[in-house]
Amino acid sequence: MHDFIEEVLLTNEEIVAIAERIGKQISHDYAGKKPLLIGLLKGSVPFLAELMKHIDIEMEVDFMKVSSYSGVHSTGAVTITKDTSTPLVDRDVIIVEDIVDSGLTIQEIKNLLKDRKAKSIRVATLLDKPSGRTVPNLYPDYVGQEIPGKFVVGFGLDYDELYRNLPYVGVLKRSVYEK
Ligand code: IMP
């Protein structure tokens, strides 16, 4: 554990087990279909990479980049800064996220994908922070782990672009961002 981490919430082994569980579930739920996994950059990359290894049906992958956060607080406004290159009409889409907090990002992306006539839209997230939810009735379909309302980093999650490379998920010490 690094000295800027207060507590480890998920070890690498636990994350791999989560990816295996969700990968199996997706392979079962989408048997005979060809889902399109859309990873939200940059945070979903490590989880998406791990998850894909455990999906054993035909699937495709694409990416979108949205920005809603600055520092440790959501700004509320969601802007798309990189779009998918795959046509979405009639596709079974699975949005892959690192964490769902307020739910604003997922809500915006879901609305956009509906406008683009995706056939079905589900959400797979490594972490869920339900205490941060401001969007009512927003429940991710595949959740790795529910966590308390603390600011976490690692396995894709950052604080001002740092710590994405940690192989585990941990709570960042407040002293790092309350200077
Ligand atoms: P939402 O729109 O509030 O649900 O926020 C989702 C995005 O906020 C995630 O994709 C993360 O980029 C970021 N985020 C939310 N909570 C945390 C956290 O604890 N650590 C790092 N990033 C977070």
How many A from CA of 105 to the centre of ligand 1? 9
Decide if 166 is inside a domain: no
Decide if 75 is inside a domain: yes
Q: How far is residue 77's CA from residue 98's CA, in Å, rounded to a whole number? A: 18
Decide if 168 is inside a domain: no
Q: Is 16 helix (H, G, I), strand (E, B) or coil?
A: helix
Range of the domain at 106: 11-149
CA 94 vs CA 48, 115, 154, 178: distances in Å: 11, 16, 22, 36
Over residues 95-104, the pLDDT tens digits come to: 999 999 999 9
**What is the pLDDT, as a whole number, of residue 72?**
57
**Does the pLDDT at position 74 exceed 60?**
no
Decide if 59 is inside a domain: yes
How many A from CA of 101 to the centre of ligand 1? 6
Q: How far is residue 90's CA from residue 149's CA, in Å, rounded to a whole number? A: 36
User: Residue 70: enclosing H or E segment and its boundaries?
Assistant: strand 60-70
- Indicate the number of domains in the chain: 1
Pocket test for ligand 1, best of 69, 96, 104, 168 (most atoms within 8 A of CB): 69
For atom 5 of ligand 1, which residue has the closest CA?
Answer: 101
The answer to whether 54 and 15 are in contact (CB under 8 A) is no
Over residues 83-140, the pLDDT tens digits come to: 999 999 999 999 999 999 999 999 999 999 999 999 999 999 999 999 999 999 999 9
CATH number for the domain that contains residue 117 = 3.40.50.2020
90 annotated active-site: no
How many A from CA of 35 to the centre of ligand 1? 24
Decide if 31 is inside a domain: yes
Decide if 141 is inside a domain: yes
Decide if 118 is inside a domain: yes
Rounded mean pLDDT, 163-178: 96
